[in-house]
Chains A and B, each alone.
Chain A
């Protein structure tokens, strides 16, 4: 009965590869997010979708492309991986700004680029 599930939990890959991280929520929330947590634990928003529509797109390289096939899913595809992409990526969901009870986070995906 996991509320926000991310797969995989760990991902080790070589520079130049393309990889995807999947996220699904069963809370019925309208909004989903991707955050990146760097080695110093700093959390920064990357993208946000509301009902499959992109609403936040921070300054993120074009190599990162989110996709939301429906409001319960938000996937992150990364092309041409670089060493600096190594981080923990968190998916989260919320009800939306009219009733912001806080985010529910997935357990994170630790991406290591070698």
Chain B
């Protein structure tokens, strides 16, 4: 079974600073998708950013960007200019090769300090 590792159970960052959340995964596929989801205390799952594995260019969405290292099977999320509203659980989720099934990591709880 595919495994997804988020090695940081908890992280904290000062408001307006930058933080990077790590994610590694295993796969034997060459074409797949990767996602970061955010779950605030409201428990709603919100899509933050998406990356297609065949694209070398790292995805960016406003203050959120990824560092995708395909050979290393690493997919980290960088949050710039952190805001209080960024406080949440963050889940890394690659698709399981050739299917639309997403496998989720155990999550990183991000705290943003004012």
Q: Which of B42, B98, B100, B104 contacts A42 (CB 8 A)?
A: B104
Whether, in the assembled complex, B50 has its beta carbon less than 8 Å from a beta carbon of chain A, the answer is yes
Alpha-carbon distance between A107 and B50 when the two chains are bound, in angstroms: 20
Contact A101 B104 (CB under 8 A): no
Q: Which residue of A lies closest to B44 (CB)?
A: A107
Whether, in the assembled complex, A102 has its beta carbon less than 8 Å from a beta carbon of chain B, the answer is yes
Whether, in the assembled complex, A31 has its beta carbon less than 8 Å from a beta carbon of chain B, the answer is yes
Alpha-carbon distance between A73 and B47 when the two chains are bound, in angstroms: 22
Known: A96-B100, A97-B99, A103-B45. 9 other contacts (CB 8 A): A40-B106, A42-B106, A90-B45, A100-B100, A102-B33, A102-B35, A103-B47, A108-B43, A110-B43
Q: What is the size category of the interface that chain A forms with chain B? A: 20 to 34
Alpha-carbon distance between A31 and B107 when the two chains are bound, in angstroms: 24
Residues of B within 8 A of A (CB): 33, 35, 39, 42-45, 47, 50, 89, 91, 95, 98-104, 106-107
Kindly identify, within residues 50 to 79 of chain A, every residue whose CB is under 8 Å from any CB belonging to chain B: 56
Contact B100 A41 (CB under 8 A): no
**Cβ–Cβ < 8 Å partners of B50 in chain A:** 101-102
Q: Given the known inter-chain contacts A40-B106, A90-B45, A100-B95, please indicate yes or no for A56 contacting B35, CB distance below 8 A.
A: no
Contact with B along A91-106 (1 / 0, CB 8 A): 0101011001111110
Contact B45 A31 (CB under 8 A): no
Alpha-carbon distance between A41 and B40 when the two chains are bound, in angstroms: 12
CB distance from A63 to the nearest CB of B (A): 22
